[in-house]
Structure 1
Amino acid sequence: MKSFKFLTLSVMIGAVLAFTTACGQSNESNGSSGQEQSGEENKQLEGNIAIDGSSTVYPIMEAIGEEYMATQPGVKVAVGLSGTGGGFEKFTKGETDFSNASRPIKDEEKAAAEENGIDIQEFELAYDGLSIVVNKENDWVDHLTVDELKKMWVHSGKAIKWSDIREGWPEEEVKFYSPGHDSGTFDYFNEVILEDEEMNEAAVLSEDDNVLVNGVTGDKNSIGYFGYAYYAANKDKLKVVPVDGGNGPVEPNNETVMSGEYAPLSRPLYTYVNTAAIKDKEQVYDYAKFMLENAGPLAEEVGYVSLKQEEYDAQLETLEGLKK
């Protein structure tokens, strides 16, 4: 067995030496083209990249930013989380290079960008399953229908008790925790659950999802919602609620979110880029390329669901078109 390993190793070393020699001869015959290509790939950049927007998208972009700065230490990537609406307000004024969003850009936001001479490009980063969560000690909720969610969250002018939602549940007042009005997650929930009706005025609103996590974990009678990554990061102290969108209760996970089975709370997550920055700032183009090449695994790492590889590839082609 040892002689076989030695023979195999000897063959491998011989092959490597032969390959190295051949490469050296090839590089000599081709001049310095190999060195130039390597130098281009390893080119170190400098400058700043400004990113703001959705708190839901923040974990993905934070992870991408950290990985990018490890390869390009001369570039400072600053990622804020002022909410989708707050991010677009800055982006449409030209204050940021990228604007993260948990919903598509609105017509009025597009108009604001156009008025300021800003051309935009949308990129999808991952899929999210907006997660309904209750306190870990809640032992009565096994699932909620879309109609029950609406009944709970729409403003009715009176305090809502669990017993108002389903017979046999506790006669205790429900405590609500929701993303704030600048959040794309709020907008999405408003669209598919509230159907544009006013939210329960008793709800505690915050643009910081960690505030919502702490609120739900601190009260047995609480309920809240936010992006799946924040549930995944806190699943030891939160209970996720399966949602019945008409075909039976479904819990959010990678499979049900990607397939759309977790309906109607599955959605894509976006970032928008200022196309002028792609052309004028080498570090912004380089970051966008790195982002699309690495968004899939990093989105999975922080708790979201990757797009299909062909979707990232198609967007990389779009990016290359912007550079021309």
Structure 2
Amino acid sequence: MAPAVNDFNFDHADLHTEESAEPQSLSTSSSHGDQAKVLRGLMEQRQPGVIEKSKSTRCRTLAVCSGKGGVGKSVISLNLALALAKTGASVCLMDINLALGNIDLLCRLNGYWNLSHVVSGARSLKEIQLEGPLGINVITGASGLTDLADCSEAVRRDVLGQMQELEATHDYLILDNGTGIHRSIRQFVTSADDVLIVTTPEPTAIADAYATIKSLSTIQSLEIQTLVNQCTSLDQGDKVFQQLQKTTELFLHTGLSQAGQIPHDLQVVQSVYDRDPLVLSHPQSPAAEAIFRLARHVIDVRKTKEQNKQESYFPRLWQRLLGEAA
């Protein structure tokens, strides 16, 4: 039996560094701050049939989740989408928060129309798409798709057709999910190709991240990855991951992959205040460079898994949504 969240043990001394200590650099690049080199590294990852659309490739779906609010999930989702777009990939960022979506606000957009209006027939999918920075497409109100279970078969087919067209024209679909795995959006996460759970070194965030991992661990097709945000050092981020990994293997008997870590960086806070995404406003900041490394990781995962194709995302989602409603 897995431990209850409030029974999760943490060694606070291991997870925190003294405030007076200088943060250890999280950059693995030999030329820290050379953003041109970072971008060249991203471009070098592109190979025929990986980023470029072809008959042998399809959109890769990444669901970004967190166990609790305030860990930077939406900020990471947006900046990761932009980092991928900088490689030339076509990216769609979909906000699935249940009523607290803010992706559009983070990049100075106004998402009045959303997917609930597509389901109701008031707008088409193309009409609600917002063009974000670097040409990424931003869609809000994706949780409205859960209403399809109560719609007619004709409406379902129409909306599914529009969603499949959207998927066919993008290389990556990034889903910014709400806090925790709410029953209403669980199917969005379990239908994705990859799941990224964001946490911080705070004990409450780690405990909630474990609870989220536990709720998803029964889906064998999912490879769950974790990203530790707001780290003060590489050592701190590694300890958080190792603690989660050890507990997951011991009680859930499943593996856990490390996607990376993002350093604590005041430029992140400033970019949110300015509504100007970090990788565009401060591309040479430590956190931005870590996000570019995360983008390289996402591209590498795509390359290694491209041969193990599953059915496209939205048909899988439809099957789960309608199966739950039955």
Would you say same fold, with TM above 0.5?
no
TM-score (norm 2): 0.26
TM-score (norm 1): 0.26
